[in-house]
């Protein structure tokens, strides 16, 4: 491969995908197309149900609708390009397209999911542990401000990563052992020194992943402690039902993310790492609407009224 500047190069990277076997390509195309359509439709129904039903105009469901919107953006940044490459039997992705995937998918939307899940955990903590002050603490202005602040912070963090990436030099025709442009995969194939990029990536990951996880664990430790002291069985069941949906999503998100991390640490097989990545990049956004609609009577009722 020939090293050179990326300026003017329309097709710089090659995404090797999940498999080189041509017989598997129709299967992958059908699988990911169906998963993409289910994800978009499911999350869109959640957004429409929350916006159309006044009984769901609460902080919890405001954060849930934002989570559904982020999940739609999350999967739309990567799967359509994968489907186009499979259909066209091509592995090319432009330099700009690759940086766009890094910026929006792996830096902005992935971290937004973390913090939205943290806000939902905090909402349940206030609702159950401080019910008399709930409407004062979780007012509409605070909820909107928290979401806007998250978008602003993560766009700025993503911009830092993007500016650092533009300073790197890549080889023409660089092969990426993945189906998308992950930040760590891009740094592996760079032809110049990536020390600063790696330090920023690890620091940002540690802060932006561990802080939300700590907040979620603290919120639910306090919430469960309060629930165990409740005398009303009906109230306890309803609270556990609402919290159970959220905990299922949190477990799925962090479980699949940690699974990818440990897979990368244990094995150096790019094929296994790519398959593990599918779990949190495609499967998790698809399952979130089902978890909330099947385990939550309010959402099920709103969806029923919306569809009827």
User: Exposed, middle or buried, 187 (CB in 10 Å: 0-12/13-18/19+)?
Assistant: middle
Tens-digit pLDDT profile for residues 158-199 = 899 999 999 998 877 788 888 888 888 888 888 888 999 999
Say how many domains are in the chain: 1
Q: Is residue 303 part of a domain?
A: no
Tens-digit pLDDT profile for residues 63-118 = 999 999 999 998 999 999 999 988 888 888 888 888 898 888 766 777 888 889 99
Residue with token string 């159970």:
244
Are the CB atoms for 107 and 155 separated by under 8 Å? no
Q: Is residue 41 part of a domain?
A: yes
Angle at alpha carbon of residue 160, lines to 158 and 166, rounded to 5°: 105
Query: In whole angstroms, what is the distance from residue 248 CA to residue 243 CA?
Result: 9
- Residue-by-residue DSSP string for the chain: --EE--TT-S--EEE--S---GGGHHHHHHHHHHHHHHHHHHHHHHHHHHHH-GGG-SHHHHHHHHHHHHHHHHHHTTHHHHHHHHHHT--EE-HHHHHHHIIIIIIIIHHHHHHHHHHHHHHHHHHHHSGGGHHHHT-HHHHHHHHHHHHHHHHHHHHHHHHHHTTS-EETTEEESSSS--HHHHHHTBSS--HHHHHHHHHHHHHHHHHHHHHHHHHHHHHHHHHHT---HHHHHHHHHHHHHHHHHHHHHHHHHHHHHHHHHH---HHHHHHHHHIIIIIHHHHHHHHHHHH-HHHHHHHHHHH-
Q: Is residue 88 part of a domain?
A: yes
Q: What CATH number is associated with residue 101?
A: 1.20.1070.10
Q: Is residue 17 part of a domain?
A: yes
pLDDT value, residue 7: 43
Query: In whole angstroms, what is the distance from residue 29 CA to residue 24 CA?
Result: 9
pLDDT value, residue 262: 67
Nearest by Cα to 284 from 151, 110, 120? 110
Tens-digit pLDDT profile for residues 4-38 = 444 444 457 888 888 778 888 899 999 999 999 99
Q: Is residue 306 part of a domain?
A: no
Q: Is residue 268 part of a domain?
A: yes
Does 286 or 280 have the greater pLDDT score? 286
pLDDT value, residue 283: 87
Tens-digit pLDDT profile for residues 125-144 = 998 888 889 989 999 999 99
| pTM of the predicted structure, to 2 decimals | 0.87
Does 149 or 255 have the greater pLDDT score? 149
Exposure on the CB side of residue 39, measured as CA atoms within 13 A: 26
Q: Is residue 276 part of a domain?
A: yes
Q: Is residue 219 part of a domain?
A: yes
Query: Which residue range is the domain that position 18 belongs to?
Result: 3-297
């Amino acid at each position: 491969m020939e090293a050179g500047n990326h300026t003017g190069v329309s097709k710089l990277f090659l995404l090797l995908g999940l498999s080189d076997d041509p017989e598997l390509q129709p299967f992958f195309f059908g699988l990911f197309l169906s998963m993409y359509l289910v994800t978009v439709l499911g999350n869109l129904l959640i957004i429409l149900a929350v916006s159309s039903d006044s009984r769901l105009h609460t902080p919890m469901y405001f954060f849930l609708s934002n989570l559904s919107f982020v999940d739609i953006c999350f999967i739309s940044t990567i799967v359509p390009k994968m489907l186009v490459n499979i259909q066209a039997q091509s592995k090319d992705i432009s330099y700009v397209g690759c940086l766009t995937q890094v910026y929006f998918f792996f830096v902005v939307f992935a971290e937004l999911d973390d913090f939205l899940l943290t806000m939902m955990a905090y909402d349940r903590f206030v609702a159950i542990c401080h019910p008399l002050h709930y409407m004062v603490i979780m007012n509409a202005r605070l909820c909107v401000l928290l979401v806007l602040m998250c978008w602003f912070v993560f766009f700025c963090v993503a911009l830092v990563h993007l500016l650092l990436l533009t300073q790197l030099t890549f080889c023409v025709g660089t092969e990426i052992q993945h189906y998308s442009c992950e930040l760590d995969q891009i740094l592996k194939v760079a032809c110049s020194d990536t020390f600063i990029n790696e330090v920023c990536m690890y620091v940002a990951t540690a802060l932006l992943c561990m802080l939300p996880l700590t907040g979620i664990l603290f919120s639910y430790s306090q919430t469960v402690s309060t629930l165990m002291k409740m005398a009303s069985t009906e109230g306890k069941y309803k609270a556990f039902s609402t919290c159970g949906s959220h905990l299922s999503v949190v477990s799925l998100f962090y479980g699949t993310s940690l699974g990818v991390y440990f897979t990368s640490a244990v094995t150096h097989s790019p094929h296994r790492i790519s398959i593990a990545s599918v779990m949190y990049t495609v499967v998790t956004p698809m399952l979130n609407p089902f978890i909330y609609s099947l385990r939550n009577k309010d959402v099920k009722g709103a969806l029923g009224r919306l569809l009827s």
